[in-house]
Structure 1
């Protein structure tokens, strides 16, 4: 586990770096849909948390979580490759999941590319279950996998 990891909500000044990291680590080979303007809108949205981890002024990881009526949707999630398997992703995901619980979410939904075995394994290790494969989910070319994690049932309060 990474000691003294500081996770905070993103500010508008983080938008360009988040967009670039998304392009490089998530959207590679696809049209770039999470450009700085879209990230900035997510940061400003009252129904979205954009969390970041920075070390020495460098963006190490981020997560974008949207909140719906009873579900949360982890829209984007990335950690720099050189910092993966060091607890950064786990800490960031735990922070986002705790925020979803506070927001009243019953479950979290997320998608990953079918061929992204590292992401699928990461989510599985953290209690997410694969529901289905959707062919050509990403820009009509790459297959995706829908995953979910139940945080509570309707009877829990």
Structure 2
């Protein structure tokens, strides 16, 4: 996919901006759990990809995805509000899926806030299906919807 965004693996210097965007775009109304230190642990973890999207040097979005043997889990995914619905989220998701397929991953799973209709719609448009729910998943304050995308059999 050719995109106007520069999508690369995150560097240590990206951790503060990722943590702040998580706090503001994902964790609003909840205790801040994805701090700079936690993001840094993910950046250093060999089984986790932390990816950032930039345009003109500014960090506009990110994704964290942890790999298992045949399944990957998107832990965190966010795009700045000013850049939503412009293809950035789709570009990030495409990068994650292509990387997962190369790694032999068969499926990608994630959780989204049950009340976040925009996120649920975004993932459905990109081939994810709702596979269940987790009551009180978000600090007991909100339920989660589990989503799953099958990538296909290994070659």
Task: Give the TM-score category using the shorter length.
Answer: over 0.9
Q: Residue 113 of structure 2 corresponds to which residue in structure 1?
A: 113
Q: Partners in 1 of 2:101 and 2:42 — Cα distance?
A: 20
Distance 2:119 2:38 in 1: 23
Q: What's the counterpart of residue 80 of structure 1?
A: 80
Larger mean CA deviation between 35-44 and 133-142 belongs to 133-142
How far apart are residue 2 of structure 1 and its match?
8.2
Structure 1 residue 3, shift from structure 2 partner: 4.1
Separation in structure 1 between the aligned mates of residue 90 and residue 11 of structure 2, nearest angstrom: 22
List runs of 5+ in structure 1 lacking aligned partners.
none
> Residue 46 of structure 1 corresponds to which residue in structure 2?
46
Q: Residue 66 of structure 1 contacts residue 73 of structure 1 at CA under 8 Å; is this kept in 2?
A: yes
SS at match of 2:5: coil
- Aligned pairs, number: 155
TM-score, normalisation: structure 2: 0.96
Alignment of 1:86-125 (within 5 A): 86-125=86-125
CA offsets 1:66-106 (integer angstroms, 9 cap, x no match): 00111000110001111111100001100011111111111
Q: Which aligned runs of 4 or more in structure 1 are off by greater than 3 angstroms?
A: none
Q: Which runs of 5+ in 2 are unaligned?
A: none
Structure 1 distance, partners of 2:143, 2:58, is 32
Question: Equivalent residues in 2 for 1:137-152 (5 A)?
Answer: 137-152=137-152
Task: Please state whether the residue corresponding to 1:24 is helix, strand or coil.
Answer: helix
Contact 1:71 1:107 (8 Å CA) reproduced = yes
1:136 match: 136
Aligned equivalents of 1:128, 1:4: Cα separation in 2? 25
* Offset, 1:4: 2.6
Report if aligned partners of 2:49, 2:64 keep a CA contact under 8 Å in 1: yes
Q: TM-score, normalised by structure 1?
A: 0.95
